[in-house]
Structures are given as C-alpha cells and as structure tokens.
Chains A and B, each alone.
Chain A
C-alpha cells in the first residue's frame, strides 16, 4: 500500500519516485504533440525537413556567397547544416517547452503528475525533429560524397549536451512563463538574436581572437563547434575553452533549471 504525506512548507521527497512512476507519460505527451503537430497539414512531417533546408539555403547564400565567409575547405551547405542541426533543436525546444506549461494549463489545474514531465516531453518532441533533420544531414553527406572522420563517434556526447542545454533553458522559461507571460515575447527574441551570436551561419574561427572567450560564454558555441568537429573533423573547429564553458554552462543550466522549476512548481496550479 502506497503511503503519502502532504505537509505544508515541505517539498515532497516522493517527487523523484513519482517522476519514475509517470515515466510513460513522457512518451505519451511527446507522442500526442507529434500526432497533433502535423494534423490537417498537407506536407505533414515534410515540414521538419523543409524548414532546416530553406534556412540552410538562406544562410549559405547570405554568409557563404554574399559574405564570402570561409568554410574550412568543406562545402558551405554541409558546414552550415552541421551548425543548424543543434541550433534548430535548441531553438524549437525552448520555444515549445517555454509555452508547454501554459498551453497545458487545463491539465495542471485538474490533475496531478510531476509537471517536469510536460516541459521535458516537449523537449523530446523537438528531439524527434532533430533526428529527422539528422537523417537529412546523412543524405547531404551522401550527396557530397563526404565521409566523416572517426570523431563522429563522439557525437552522442554533444547530442546529450545540446539536449541538456535545451532542457535547462526550457525549464527556466516554462516556469517563468507561468507567472510572467512576458516570456512569450522574450523567447522569439532570444531565438532570433541567438542565431547571430551562435556560429550557425559561419565558423567560430571568424570571430576575432580577443572576443573568442566572451563569444564562447554562449553554451551553443561550444556545442555547435563540437558538432562540426565530430562531423567535419579538423583541429580548427574545436576550441577547448569554449567546449569547457559549454559543459559548465549546461551543467549550471540544468541544475538551476530543475531547482527553480521545483521551487515554483507547487504553486503552478494557483498561479497559472
């Protein structure tokens, strides 16, 4: 028989056990979002390929052709796509998960389950798009008859890193959004702004050396560089301080995100 003690002013120690008990809900909520997302659309899942494809073309034309930025000896589209893969995941994940609590407010005010599930599963949903785009990247590599170096075996680590960054930021934004709807306007701004302060359309190498460390405070810098390093290889792509900063950033983001989320979670139903 399960026993439960609810007491004022004490965070429940059952929380993590509950999270485990509701583990299937991660799957079901992501599955729901995926099913619903492309209902009544003509192109359907094709959208998760078309979006990055078009962005890739635009960035290639703007930075590669017009800006004449270096591509490190690789086809520019391929170089751009390696950066876009984690960036698209991060940006859709934080937009989706930021809104996730508010758009599920009917659930929050009517049923109990660890609210973390909602935010996390919207990150998972974005991750599925990431996987589809990754398949497209493989196709692109075939097109350019490109064989990735052995570094590619370390890619899962960077995938984990970008997942952590998305989850950490997503937790912060979704919890803040419950009380401050201002974030509805802030998030698109972060996404738009972030595209320029992250090396998506260009290589980190073009940033002047004295700004490099400042530039690297953005965790996406280390992550995107890492993706390029794994897929394209070459010592020019990895900048160790940026990588170390990214690992620290992600760790701090996830830990503080969970802390803030847990702190505010109990009042979600009252505030939302």
Chain B
C-alpha cells in the first residue's frame, strides 16, 4: 500500500526460551561443577536426556514482517503472545534463536518509562544519565535540555532528587527524555499504561508527530483505542505466531471479537440445572465493549438457560475498583426478583451514567435461591472492564496522573462553594458536545 522504502524486514524470526534450564540454575554453580566432573562419563547419556527433559518454549516462531518507512504499526495480542519478545529482539536486548531482522535507521526504544533513572540523583542529573543510556550524545542532550524540561513541566524541581518526586512528575520527566531521542524508528511498549488520560494524550501526540514526519513507529499496547487512533496498520500476534496483519480497524475488531468470546464467562450449576451462558458488557449505544468513559451507561447482559424451573432467584451484581467495592445492584436489598427462570432468557441490568474515575474494574455476580441461604452461583468475577478518558474534558484540573489511581473511584456530583463567592460544580457526566470517545483523542494529536 506504500511505495516507501523498507525500514524493517523480519524473516522467519523465532525466539526460544528453555524452561528446563531455569531449574538447573537454581542449583547454582554446584550443579555446574558437578556436571563438569561427571561430564566425561555421562556426556553421551546426558545429551540424550537433555533433549527429552528440556521444556523448550517458543515465545516467538516463524514471524515474517515487512514494515515500510513512515508506517505506524500497532502490535496487539494477549499477554504472552510474544509482543514484548518481538520488541526485545528488535531493540537488540536479546538475540533471536532463528531468523533474521534487517533494520534501516536509528532505533529508539521506549520499553519502560524511567529505565535507568536513579532515585538518589536530581532531575537534572537524571536527564543526562537517562539520555546517555538511551543513546544520546552529551551535546545532543545539552541541545535538547530546555525542550525536555519544558515538556516535563518540572522546572522548579530540577535540582531535587527524583525520589522526592510524585509519580506523575517522575513519569512526565522520564517520558520527556525518551520522547526527545529523535530516532528514525521508534519502538514503544505499553508506556502509556502508567499515566492517566491527559498524560497519555500528550504521549500519543508526541508519537503522532513522530509519524507525521515520516518516521516509523512500532507500538505495543493493550489500549486498543490508542492503537486504533495512532496506527494505520495492526499486527496481531497469537501464541508467538503472526495471526493476522492488515488495516487497523479490521484487525482490532477481529481481535476484540476474539477476546470477548474466549474470555466470556460461563457457569453451570447442575444441581439447580442453571447455566449462565454469557455475561456481556455493552455501552449506552448498545455496542459490546470493555472500555467505558466516565458517565457512560454500563449495560450488563446475563444470558441463561434454566433446565429446571427456578422460583424467585435473587441476583446481585457488584462493581469493584482497584481499591474495593464501588456500587452494587442487589435484589436482596431492592426486593425485585424475576418470578421464575425457565428455559433460555436474558436478564439485563443497566447502571446509568457510571460516575467512575479512569481505573480498571471487576464485575461480580452472585445468585441465591429464594430462601437466601443457598447459593446457585457463588460470588465471583464475571467480567472486567476499564474506564478510560481524559478528566480534563470533565472540567478536572488537578494532578490526576498522581491521584486518580489512588482515589476512591466513585465520584458523586458535587459542588464547592468557596469563600470568595465562587461556586464550582464537579461531575463525571458525559460532556454533551463530545462524540465518540475515540474521535476525541484523535483531535488532539
């Protein structure tokens, strides 16, 4: 689709990890010395045994790819699919077991924000140290120093040891250094997982401007919205192999469908003859998703099949944040119950305009019999979702990079009336003007 020259060629790439080897190592040197002494006798035998015993594990296998200059490619896949291994090979942290990679251009890697920062050193000292570790020359760092400081917004704390920084400041500084590396090929792994939406937007903006100047970007993220916004092409890795490669919207859609079907919760209680076939989350527009914006509706669709009739069961749903319970819908409290479950059907619960801060959440379900005491389905996780979005668009002005993750997640609309007569209202309701969330992010690139 491009006529640009090739930036990265990957042929038959494979990386093997030997799991058995790890067990040997726990014995340390004693094992090695022992082995060396016994070696002449047992050499043949051990060689044969090793082949049988060793659990070889291919983290990546037979991957071939061609990436043209100026392309922005998202790499998606579940944990352990080989994404990080691929990036580690591309960034030369480790070497392949088979195959080859040809790279044209200077590579900059952002595998983790803040790598090589030293807690005892000041911000200024860390800029130089980190820059050098990432491959910048001294003169290059000096030239970009002001720019880095401006981007990180930590001017006043330049001479404070970074161990006294807030998480937000730390992350901003670390990203600022890495973002000014100015490579021809940028490899980014999940760095956006750290900050909040405003920070993520800034990073995405920086990466977007990289792409616009004709540089190649490889981007790994679990944040599918970010992938969709930033990339034109996506590569889907599955169990170490290249599963699909193509236009981003298409691949992401196929991937989402795949994970929601693979991950779907189901539960069977033979005693009561009840099968929960699926628990599906949808947003207010009826789209199945696992990402919501603050103020969205959260629709929980429970599909069941009851082989025997169940009279007046009691359902309860609970939403839990990182720090504990947020809210529930509990039939034990509200007293509303289905008269009976019989055959196949659906129960839907809609949580209206969820006032949740951007965090990860768990949905739990419990089903009791009419007598309250007996459990048909014990209390357990049935779905996971995350709330994403930029709090600035909800009128927030604080340092939410630092504080949103630690705050209680539920925000009931509130109003400050201040001594100077000002009244400020804060609410996590969806801003009217905004369209689909993903589109908003793109506006700021």
Contacts and interface: CB of A to CB of B under 8 A. Distances in A.
Nearest to B18: A270
Interface string A103-139: 0001111111100000000000000000000000000
A109 B184 CA distance: 22
Contacts of B115: 106-107, 110-111
Nearest to A40: B120
B28 A35 contact: no
A267 interface: yes
Interface on chain B toward A: helix, strand, loop, or mixed SS? Answer: mixed
A201 to B, nearest CB: 31
B119 to A, nearest CB: 9
Interface size range of chain B in the complex: 35 or more
Interface size range of chain A in the complex: 35 or more
Interface stretch (A5-13, A90-98, A235-243): A5-13
Contacts of B88: 269
Nearest to A265: B95
Contacts of A108: 93
A5 B107 CA distance: 12
Contacts of B29: 180, 182-183
A1 to B, nearest CB: 6
Interface in A19-50: 21-22, 24-25, 27-29, 31-32, 35-36, 39-40
B431 interface: no
B103 interface: yes
A192 interface: no
A214 interface: no
Nearest to B9: A5
A182 B28 CA distance: 7
A2 to B, nearest CB: 6
Nearest to B103: A4
Query: Which of A28, A36, A267 has the largest count of B CB atoms less than 10 A from its CB?
Result: A28
A52 B318 CA distance: 66
Contact of A3 (B103, B125, B129, B134): B103
Interface of B: 14, 17, 25, 28-30, 32, 88-89, 91-107, 109, 111-112, 115-116, 118, 120-121, 125, 128-129, 132-135, 137-138, 184
Given A2-B106, A8-B14, A183-B29, 14 more contacts: A5-B101, A6-B96, A8-B98, A8-B99, A22-B135, A28-B128, A29-B132, A31-B129, A110-B111, A110-B116, A180-B32, A181-B28, A266-B95, A267-B94
17 contacts: A6-B95, A6-B101, A6-B103, A7-B99, A21-B135, A24-B132, A28-B129, A31-B129, A35-B120, A35-B121, A36-B118, A36-B121, A111-B91, A111-B115, A181-B28, A266-B95, A270-B94
User: What 10 A-B pairs are tightest by C-beta distance, nearest first?
Assistant: A28-B132, A112-B92, A110-B115, A182-B29, A6-B101, A7-B100, A4-B103, A180-B29, A266-B95, A269-B94
Interface of A: 1-8, 21-22, 24-25, 27-29, 31-32, 35-36, 39-40, 106-113, 179-183, 266-267, 269-271
